[in-house]
Amino acid sequence: MNRKQLIEQIKIKKSFLCVGLDTDIELIPKFLLDFEDPVLEFNKRIIDATHDLCVAYKPNSAFYESRGIAGWKSLIDTSNYIPETCLGIIDAKRGDIGNTSTMYAKAFFDHASSGMSFDAITIAPYMGSDSVKPFLAFEDKWVILLALTSNEGGKDFQFIDTENGRLFENVIQKANSWAGNDRMMYVVGATRAEEFLNIRKFAPDHFLLVPGVGAQGGSLQEVCKYGLSESCGLLVNSSRSIIFASSGEDFAERAREEAKKLQSEMEILLEEIGF
Ligand SMILES: O=C(O)c1cc(=O)[nH]c(=O)n1[C@@H]1O[C@H](COP(=O)(O)O)[C@@H](O)[C@H]1O
């Protein structure tokens, strides 16, 4: 899905919600354990219940890799179940020397090779340009670079002063020369709402992937106050607060209710900026 198509979906659905598929097999309703692939069954029902309310799904690969072969199979089958009207983001936080990055890119982007063809991948910037560019060599795919993360430890390095501002500002400025806003997004945690105004100086109309609303306590209103751009420019992710809203048989309906609450707030926020 390219930038134009993503913006179209945001307009159609009046939503910039990303549902995080952090599907912990220990937390899914017990009755699903009778299915051949309980995680896939869970994800399918979540997707069926929410796809008209969100514009992206983000499986976090840790929850799948941790289950070995069965987990990879759940991830592959989930990737192929994500509808075309939603951006498929694999949250893998990769990045390595060039030839290794190319293999990571093949793993998540090249359907003929791995059975998966996500639209976008989260990447750690620490190893620099030659660790990121192999992902950009795959046509029409997005890199979502970690800039300012939502966790407490994000402050350990990301706020260090450099001659080009703080390290996360430096990351954005540098990465802007690797690809435009049609191929590059940045991760900015919802718990850092006060920084959005500043980030928009460096990335005025880039899409920002914003995790941290819901279980981590970030505020959608605060993020939007400073973060919305003229093309919307936000994908706000929530994982646990949606997918684990109930541990009973009604989990998919409850997930829909939680997604609907966020979508309704988003609709108002989009209207306010005339989007
Ligand atoms: O790259 C991410 O998505 C990410 C970056 C970040 O700074 N903080 C963060 O929480 N995430 C991811 O976003 C999701 C947040 O999940 P919830 O806290 O359950 O909504 C998890 O998959 C995290 O790995």
Q: Which pLDDT tens digit goes with each residue over 223-249?
A: 999 999 999 999 999 999 999 999 999
Query: Is residue 275's pLDDT more than 90?
Result: no
Q: How far apart are CA 12 and CA 132, in angstroms?
A: 32
Mean pLDDT of 182-205: 95
Q: Whose CA is nearest to atom 12 of ligand 1?
A: 211
Residue type, 87: L
What's the mean pLDDT in 70-85? 98
Q: Give the CATH architecture of domain 3-144+213-272.
A: Alpha-Beta Barrel (3.20)
Query: Does ligand 1 have an atom closer than 6 angstroms to the CB of 27?
Result: no
Q: Is the CB of 158 under 6 A from ligand 1?
A: no
CA of 212 to the centre of ligand 1 (A): 6
Q: What's the average model confidence in pLDDT over 64-76?
A: 98
Beta bridge pairs of residue 165: 162
Do residues 56 and 87 touch, judged by C-beta distance below 8 A? yes
pLDDT range class, residue 252, cuts 50, 70, 90: very high
Q: Is the CB of residue 125 below 6 angstroms from any atom belonging to ligand 1?
A: no
Dist. CA 120–CA 142, nearest whole Å: 4
**Can you tell me the mean pLDDT for 190-197?**
92
ipTM above 0.90, yes or no: yes
Return d(Cα 24, Cα 140) in angstroms, integer: 30
The answer to whether the Cα torsion of 236, 244, 40, 71 is positive or negative is positive
Q: What is the pLDDT of residue 79?
A: 98
Distance 211 CA to ligand 1 centre (A): 5
Q: What angle, rounded to 10 degrees, do the helices at 251-272 and 38-50 form?
A: 40
Measured from the CB, is residue 61 less than 6 Å from ligand 1? Answer: no
The most distant pair of C-alpha atoms in the chain lies apart, rounded to whole Å, by 57
Backbone region of residue 252 per phi and psi (left: phi > 0; alpha: psi in -120 to 50; beta: other values): alpha
Best residue for ligand 1 mutational test, from 18, 60, 236 (most atoms within 8 Å of Cβ): 60
The single residue of 93, 133, 174, 261 carrying the catalytic annotation is: 93
With a cut of 90, say whether residue 164 has pLDDT above it: no
Asked about 174 being catalytic, the answer comes back as no
CB 190 within 8 A of CB 212: yes
For the chain, domain boundaries: 3-144+213-272
Measured from the CB, is residue 122 less than 6 Å from ligand 1?
yes
Smallest Cα–Cα separation from 201: which of 150, 237, 165, 236?
165
Q: Whose CA is nearest to atom 17 of ligand 1?
A: 239
- What's the pLDDT tens digit per position in 50-65? 999 999 999 999 999 9
Nearest to 235 by CA among 220, 254, 245: 220
